[in-house]
Amino acid sequence: MGVICTVVVVTVAFLPHKNPNPAEVFIEHFFSLILVIGTTLLVIFVKRLYRTLEAEENQLTALIQHATEGIILTNEDGLIILANPEAENLFGYTSEEMLRKPIETLIPSRFREKHVGHRKNFNKQPADRKMGSGMALFALRKDGTEFPVEVSLSHFKQGYDKFVLAFVVDITMRKESEDRLLAQKQQLEELTRSMQRLNQDLEQKVDERTRNLQDALQQLEISQQELEEALHKEKELNEIKSRFVSMASHEFRTPLSAILSSAALIKKYEQTEDQQKREKHVQKIRDAVKHLNELLEDFLSLGRIEEGKVNIHPEDIPLASLMQETREEVQGLLKKGQHIDISVDAALVILTDKRLLKHIFVNLLTNAIKFSPENSPISWVANKTGENIRMEVADQGMGIPKEDQHYLFSSFFRAKNVTNIQGTGLGLHIVKRYVDMLSGNIQVESELGKGTSIIISFPNHTL
């Protein structure tokens, strides 16, 4: 084909010209010659390039087809798009049977679910690696039998598509050899120990008694440590019990006393003109019952957490909408002159459990309202910082003593400067447990007499 092109170009170039000017004819023939040479060189270059590519492709095909390792190529979704003959021999499938099947088809069922997660993580952070060395890794044949393998993974991109190349080696014989060597080693060690026992009976008895004494001393030390730990735990439980008894006796007695006294006064106000007084005491009873319900809800929430009965249902939540909704819900708790200032990007969305997140918000805002004076602002800010979503509730209240901040998230714990204010000591403990369940982080910044900031952060798209 190249020769034909060359002849055609030469023929055209050297056809007789009607131009009588010899100089112009020479120039035309000269450029025609240059064109012929260039065309010929281009044809030669293209043919050589084609032959080189064809040779490389043939070499690569031969390498894959005749490789002594099973070679499997998958796309980003884990679907098999290529399998060489050795892979067919290893797994018992034909190449056509394996095509477009998930790679998990070749993995025992008990490992498939974890493998899907490992595969997705590998696609996110691909790196060449060797698998199966030093651990039990198994593959599944078409007939259902399993066999140990060693797998090397490599990744590459072609345009926007990602591919993973797996080299699979059946190590059944190697494992059998290793097992035999291990058994022989154990037998040799046992023989060596037997010889030592026969030759050193007396020394062994002394050593045995020494070891027994050392074991006894170690056991005594362990028992002492366990006893100290048990005493420490018992002390902690007693402290929790004392805090619980103190809290319960105060928190339950106060609303019950209000209910009893208001009920007695309602009975006293029997006249029609006493209706306003009766309504006043009915409201007191309602408030007391509401407080008791809140106490019981705290106990029930803690019980559900301890029993592992809190289920997480993640969804995309517009933060601005949820914050406005929560502010309206606690509006009735605000003291005179208090107001909640919200700062949040209207487009900010978080993937998490709405019910748990709202419980966290309500608890933090309720605390800020409860422990802040009248005419004080409460700041509520949410923003995205790097890969995290950060939320902060800050007040200008009484603050928390520094020595109490370490125990702030303990159950039934209340700071020494708030014992005269209603509370169970469970609110922040439950908040901390919910934040942990949502893979978040919580911290406290507080200065006595100046206020408190509770800062919560969640990884963006946590769940």
Residues 443, 409: Cα–Cα separation, whole Å: 10
pLDDT in the model for residue 149: 92
CATH number at residue 356: 3.30.565.10
Q: What is the pLDDT along the chain (463 residues), one digit of tens a residue?
A: 554 555 445 554 454 555 556 676 667 666 777 876 777 777 676 666 556 555 555 455 656 787 888 999 999 899 999 999 999 999 999 989 999 999 999 999 999 999 888 888 888 887 766 655 545 689 999 999 999 999 988 888 888 888 999 999 999 988 888 889 999 999 988 888 877 777 777 777 767 777 887 887 788 788 778 777 766 665 655 554 545 545 454 455 555 555 656 566 666 666 655 677 666 666 666 655 665 565 566 656 666 777 777 888 999 999 999 999 999 988 888 999 999 999 999 999 999 999 889 889 988 998 899 889 999 999 999 999 888 999 999 999 999 988 888 888 877 677 776 666 666 677 788 889 889 989 999 999 999 989 999 999 999 864 4
Q: If DSSP states are collapsed to H, E and C, what string results for 337-396?
A: CCEEEEEECCCCEEEEEHHHHHHHHHHHHHHHHHCCCCCCEEEEEEEEECCEEEEEEECC
The domain that holds 233 is classified in CATH as: 1.10.287.130
The secondary structure element, H or E, covering residue 19 is: none
Could you tell me the end-to-end alpha-carbon distance of the chain, in angstroms, rounded to an integer?
A: 63
Of the residues 287, 309, 331, which one is the last residue of a structural domain? Answer: 309
Residue 189 lies in a domain: no
268: in domain: yes
342 in the same domain as 436: yes
Residue 442 lies in a domain: yes
Contact indicator for 318, 429 with CB cutoff of 8 Å = no
Q: Which residues contact 388 (CB under 8 A, 6 or more apart)?
A: 457, 458, 459, 460
Which pLDDT belongs to residue 409?
A: 82
Domain assignment present for residue 15? The answer is yes
Write down which residue in 64, 92, 115 finishes a domain.
64
Q: Output helix, strand, coil percentages for the chain, rounded to the nearest 5.
A: 60, 20, 25
Q: Is 426 in the same domain as 349? A: yes
- Please give the helix or strand (H or E) that residue 149 lies within, else none: strand 146-158
On whether residue 182 sits in a domain, the answer given is no
Query: Are 365 and 347 in a shared domain?
Result: yes
Q: What is the pTM of this model?
A: 0.43
Q: HEC string of 387-444?
A: CEEEEEEECCCCCCCHHHHCCCCCCCCCCHHHCCCCCCCCHHHHHHHHHHHCCCEEEE
Q: In this structure, are 135 and 84 located in the same domain?
A: yes
Pairing of strands 349-353, 388-394: unpaired
How many domains does the chain contain in total?
4
What is the rounded distance in angstroms from the CA atom of residue 141 to the CA atom of residue 98? 11
Q: Which amino acid is at 328?
A: E
CATH code, 95: 3.30.450.20
Question: Residue 13: inside a domain, yes or no?
Answer: yes
pLDDT at site 261: 61
Residue span of the structural domain in which 110 resides? 68-175
**247 and 270 belong to one structural domain:** yes
Q: Are residues 343 and 387 in the same domain?
A: yes
Question: Which of these, 309, 310, 328, lies nearest to 320 by C-alpha position?
Answer: 328
318 with 304, same domain: the answer is: no
Name residue 350's beta-bridge partners: 317
Q: What is the pLDDT of residue 315?
A: 92
Give the pLDDT of residue 245.
46
Instruction: Give the strand pairing for 451-459 and 388-394.
Output: antiparallel
> Do 142 and 81 share a structural domain?
yes
In SS3 terms, 192-259 reads as HHHHHHHHCHHHHHHHHHHHHHHHHHHHHHHHHHHHHHHHHHHHHHHHHHHHHHHHHHHHHHHHHHHH
Does residue 76 sit in the same domain as residue 54?
no
Out of 49, 64, 79, pick the residue that ends a domain: 64
Tell me if 363 is assigned to some domain: yes
Is 190 part of a structural domain of the chain? no
56 shares its domain with 77: no
Query: Do residues 85 and 162 both lie within one domain?
Result: yes
Whether 163 and 80 have beta carbons less than 8 Å apart is answered as: no
Say whether both 318 and 288 belong to one domain. Answer: no
